[in-house]
Structure 1
Amino acid sequence: MTFPVGRATRRLAIALVFLAPSLALFAAFVFVPLTRTLYISLFFTTPTGRLAAFAGLEQYVELLTSALFRSGILASTLFALYAVPFGIALALLLAVLANQRLRGINFFRTLMSSTIAVSAAVGSLLFLMLYNPSLGLLNYLLSLLGLRGIAWLQDPGSAVVSLSVTTMWLVLGFNIIVLLAGLQGVPEELYEAAKLDGASGAMLFFRITVPLVSPFLFFLLVVDTIQVLQAFTQIHVLTRGGPVDATRTIVYSLYLDAFQNFQFGFASAQAFVLFLIVLVLTVLQFRYIEPRVHYQ
């Protein structure tokens, strides 16, 4: 009876040895900062970041009753609703095109996936020039068509859309690479058999392609949602939370409270609430969407 127990203990010890580096990194870069953030959120702080007085849940109550925080939730929600589904749909369309056997397709694949090598700061600066109301390329093209220019970043409605388009472009390369890997795993025999049965191109796409790459689509849904909710650089470069707080997401709001207002406890409370929001969204995605994913 002791032999199986000893073997199980030995296997557990070996597993822990191999997991130790990953667990150490997780503790150093995730668990410890998260615990520290929660701890700081329970205190008022001085402008230098020192803990001043115990606040308990007072800062959480202030946060949840703040109109500015509700505005931040709305901005983050709109940002995610624009950037995530449309970004994945665009990447899927381009990945399907990149999966075709055509002359020069390798150049097309490289071009479409090249955005993965562009940092968020550089990409945001490129779009800042494109969105310039006086010298930007977009308004110049509109003027050639006899149309009035658009205040891409100065109008609250268009600012959120412009920010979402920038984010879609920044994650496009990664999304295409992931989806292209999924498409290349779909057996050609399925398409050939469906064509023999008279299936149209639309039927091939919705009945074969989408179901078989649904694990990759679900992966991107989870990853892109987290990435968009944590986005900072493009907001800081393009809009700085404006106009009239239209793009002041939760992340940018906690940045302003921490590094401009020096309310580190209040900012930590926002960070922990954001963590809970991301956690709940991820759990809901796995609970209600993941069961519909088709695994081969």
Structure 2
Amino acid sequence: MKRYRIPSSRSFWQKTVNYRTALLYLLPSLLLFGVFMFYPMFYSLYLSFFFTDAQGDPTTFVGFENYAYLWESASFRRSVLVTIIFVLLTVPASVILALFLALLANEKLRGIGWYRTIFASTLGMSVAASAVIWLFMFHPTTGVLNAALQALQLPAVSWLQDSTMALISISITTIWMNTGFSFLILLGGLQNIDEHLYESARIDGAGYFYQLRRITVPMLSPTLFFIITITFINAFQSFGQVDILTGGGPAEATNLIIYSIYREAFIYYQFGPASAMAIVLFAAVLLLTLLQFKFGERKVHYQ
């Protein structure tokens, strides 16, 4: 009869040494994620089923009543519409502008390093500093934008006071803020494309736009997919520029979902509905991101 040897605990301990070593290296990150991401997320899910007091402590279990309240709230529905418009205004424009600047900066021209520094300069600025700069530029009387319009004999614009222009102004600020990061990533992707592909195309008589369509965009598609995904997620999380420039106004014209969560929780002290909004926003972004991976990644060309 053949006898089977049962592995000893010592052999199992030796086999898992690599896993335990990896876990040891990951432990600091896991602790940080647990404290600052996972715990707040699960606690928000917990609070979304309760009424809370002014300190945020749960008092009465209400089940899905907070979620039902959101769909009955005209303010929340408006914030959803405003957020969708904001995402449509900022994401395509940010990616196209960053790609255009990256294509320019990738050319072998004299002094191109200075332009690369200028294009990437927004990356080193905080949201608060960027918003304050644009706050002065949007000023109705002393702002440089209205001064330029008046110099062209055009009427001044109420950038932040008009309900239509306010969202456009916030979008312009956000596009400018996102350009630096997207530009650097796309420029790095362009510089990783094999130059021999362009040389072969030029020998065959291919023009610049044909090379752009057949070589640059396909080879850059993984980087573009990453930038589109990150810009898309960041658009849903835009808060600082809204708080500093408009405070969600005028007439809730710039009241994005993320700002509506802040206002509901820290101005009205309604932590239950605010937590429900946060969970709805998380679920929406997760679903849209998964759809983007499912359908958008098919067009990505990996080398």
> Quick check: TM above 0.5?
yes
**Matched residue SS, 2:238:** coil
Matched with 2:86 is 79
| Corresponding position: 1:265 with 2:276 | no
Paired with 2:148 and 2:45, the residues of 1 have a C-alpha distance of 49
- Distance, in Å, in 2 between the alignment partners of 1:153 and 1:87 is 21
Q: Runs ≥4 in structure 1, deviation > 6 angstroms? A: none
Deviation at 1:2, TM superposition (A): 6.3
* 2:81 is the alignment partner of 1:40: no
Q: Which residue of 1 aligns with 2:147?
A: 140
Aligned to 1:225: 232
* 2:105 paired residue number: 98
Report how far residue 265 of structure 1 moved: 1.2
Question: 1:249 corresponds to which residue?
Answer: 256
1:155 and 1:194 map into 2 onto residues whose CA distance is 51
Structure 1, gaps ≥5 residues long = none
- 1:44 alignment partner, SS class: strand
Deviation at 1:275, TM superposition (A): 0.8
Among 105, 108, 113, the alignment partner of 2:115 is 108
Equivalent in the alignment of 1:234: 241
Aligned length: 296
Cα distance in 2 for residues equivalent to 1:152 and 1:223: 28
| Structure 2 residue 166 is matched with structure 1 residue 154 | no
Flag the 1:140–1:49 CA change in 2: closer, same or farther, 3 A.
same
Aligned equivalent of 1:184, options 188, 191, 194? 191
Partner of 2:208: 201
Partner Cα distance (1:152, 1:37) in 2: 35
Structure 2 equivalent of residue 24 of structure 1: 31
In 2: Cα distance, 1:65 partner to 1:216 partner = 41
Q: Distance in 2 between matches of 1:133 and 1:197?
A: 55
Q: Distance in 1 between matches of 2:15 and 2:91?
A: 44
Deviation at 1:28, TM superposition (A): 1.6
| Alpha-carbon offset, residue 193 of structure 1 | 1.1
**Per-residue deviation at 1:106?**
0.8
Matched, 1:13 2:13: no
Q: Please identify the structure whose Cα radius of gyration is greater.
A: 2
Alpha-carbon distance change, 143 to 37 in structure 1, aligned in 2, over 3 angstroms:
same
- Measured in 2, the distance between the counterparts of 1:159 and 1:205 equals 36
Question: TM-score by structure 1 length?
Answer: 0.95
Deviation of 1:19 (Å): 2.5
Q: How much has 1:101 moved relative to structure 2?
A: 1.1
Displacement of 1:44 in angstroms is: 0.6
Supply the distance in 2 between the matched residues of 1:64 and 1:295 (Cα, whole angstroms): 42
Counterpart of 1:110, as a letter, is: T
Amino acid at match of 1:211: P
- Is 1:284 matched up with 2:291? yes
Cα distance in 2 for partners of 1:64, 1:8 equals 53
d(CA) in 1 for partners of 2:118, 2:6: 61
Q: For residue 193 of structure 1, give the secondary structure of its aligned residue in structure 2.
A: helix
Give the letter for the 1:93 counterpart: F
Mapped to 2, the partners of 1:295 and 1:155 lie a distance apart of 46
Residue by residue over 1:46-104, the C-alpha shift from the partner in whole angstroms, topping out at 9 and shown as x without a partner, is: 12222221111100110122211111111111111111111010000001111111111
Report the 3-state secondary structure (helix = DSSP H, G, I; strand = E; otherwise coil) of the residue aligned with 2:109: coil
1:68 corresponds to which residue? 75
Structure 2 counterpart of 1:28, one-letter code: V
Ranges in structure 2 where 5+ consecutive residues have no aligned partner? none
Root mean square deviation, CA, Å = 1.7
The separation in 2 between residues aligned to 1:248 and 1:172, in whole angstroms, is: 23
Provide Cα deviations, 1:142-198, integer angstroms capped at 9, x if missing partner.
111111111111222221111111001111111111001100001111111111222
**SS of aligned partner of 1:289:** helix
CA distance in 1, matches of 2:262, 2:110: 48
Q: Deviations over 1:113-133 (max 9, x none)?
A: 011111111111111111112
C-alpha separation between the residues in 2 aligned to 1:221 and 1:160?
Answer: 21
